[in-house]
Structure 1
Amino acid sequence: MLIVVTRTLILYALVVIALRLMGKREIGQLQPFDLVGIIMISELAAIPAENVGIPLIAGIIPIIVILFASTLLAVLELKSERARALLNGTPSVLIARGKIVEAELKRNRYNLTDLLVELRIKNVPNISDVEFAVLETNGQLSILPKSLKRPATPEDFGIAPSYEGLPSVLVMDGKLQKNNFERDKIDLPWFLNELKKQNIHRIEDVFLASLDTCGTLFIQKKLKR
């Protein structure tokens, strides 16, 4: 039993490292060669993990080979536009100026039901409101509404809103994020005083505290257990 556990942990660690080296793309953003690599790696890791009669190296070497091949293809994809088109395909325009391109639907085996579902998900239920709908190489549908149907922006009204960046997390689950205090030059005594104003006397009692670029402090206290 101990041998099985040890082999499984080794293969698990190897698969995690392999997937980490392959990049941070989500499943929905994977290109075909990425997806094939992940499926093969998982299958190759499962075989020696289940059968102790198979040498562990018989699972490790193929995983390393696939990782090497996937990395090589990724580099090739970055260097060559032709290789990128060959490996990943090219985007397809499914809707052009409010009209469905039937030939592209058939070529990509993309049915009308799926198209209408994707439009509803993107809050564009009417095909006539779509300027272009592009099926990307990762299978996602990009939708560009017609100019009159796009949400208004501050620029449309000649408004220049103030800068809005990412909030700085000061406390997370009762732990002070010292690096963020130093990076954003936030005064710790000021923060502790703000906690006292909300009747919080210990950092450990804070579930989450963050400060946005406008100076607004958000504090949520932990629930009592």
Structure 2
Amino acid sequence: MLIIITRTLILYALVVVALRIMGKREIGQLQPFDLVIILMISELAAIPSENVGIPLIAGIIPILVLLLASILLGQIEMKSERARAILNGTPSILIERGKIIESELKRNRYNLSDLLEELRIKNIPNIADVEFAVLETNGQVSVLSKSFKRPLTPEDLNMSPPFEGLPTVLIMDGKLNPAGLQHLSKDIQWLKDELEKQSVNRIEDVLLASLDTSERLFVQKKLNC
């Protein structure tokens, strides 16, 4: 039993490392060849972990070969547009200026029910309001509404709102983030003073505290405090 657990943990660690090396896109935006490699890696890792009669190296070597293949294909894909088209395919326009392109639906074996569902998910129930709908190479549908159906932006009103950056986390789950304080040129005494203004006496009692670019401090206490 201990041998099975050890082999499983080794293969698990190897697969996690392989996915990390392959990049975040592998998880969040799978392309066809990415999906094939991940499925093969998972299968190759499962066999040696289940059967102790198979040498562990027999599972490790194929995984490393697939990892190398993924890296090489990724490099080729980055340098060649033709290679990208061969490996990943090309986007397909499903709706153009409010008109469904039936030939593209048939070529991609994409039915109307799925298309309407994707539009509803993006809060566009009426096809007539769609300028373009594009089936991307990862299977997602990108939708561009017609100009008169898009929400107003400050630019449309000739307004220039102030810059809004990302808030800086200062405390997370009761633990101080010194790097965040340093980034904002603040010290811990400043933070304690600000917490006291919100009736918080200890950093350990804070679930989350962050400061935005407008110098507004958000603080939420833990439930048990």
Normalising to structure 1: TM-score of the pair?
A: 0.98
State, as a whole percentage, how many aligned pairs show the same letter.
Answer: 72
Q: Deviations over 1:174-211 (max 9, x none)?
A: 00000111112123222111111222111100000000
Structure 1: 4+ residue segments shifted above 3 A: none
The 1:178/1:28 distance shift into structure 2, 3 A limit, reads closer
1:1-225 aligned within 5 A:
1-25=1-25, 27=27, 29-224=29-224
Q: Deviations over 1:53-94 (max 9, x none)?
A: 000000000000000111111110001000000000000000
Normalising to structure 2: TM-score of the pair?
A: 0.98
Partners of 1:209 and 1:112 lie apart in 2 by 46
The 1:77/1:26 distance shift into structure 2, 3 A limit, reads closer
Q: Deviations over 1:143-178 (max 9, x none)?
A: 010100111000000110000000000000000000
Q: Which runs of 5+ in 2 are unaligned?
A: none
Partners of 1:187 and 1:221 lie apart in 2 by 20
SS at match of 1:95: strand
Q: Which runs of 5+ in 1 are unaligned?
A: none
Partners of 1:74 and 1:59 lie apart in 2 by 23
SS at match of 2:139: coil
Q: Deviations over 1:116-141 (max 9, x none)?
A: 00000011111010000000000000
Partners of 2:27 and 2:17 lie apart in 1 by 17
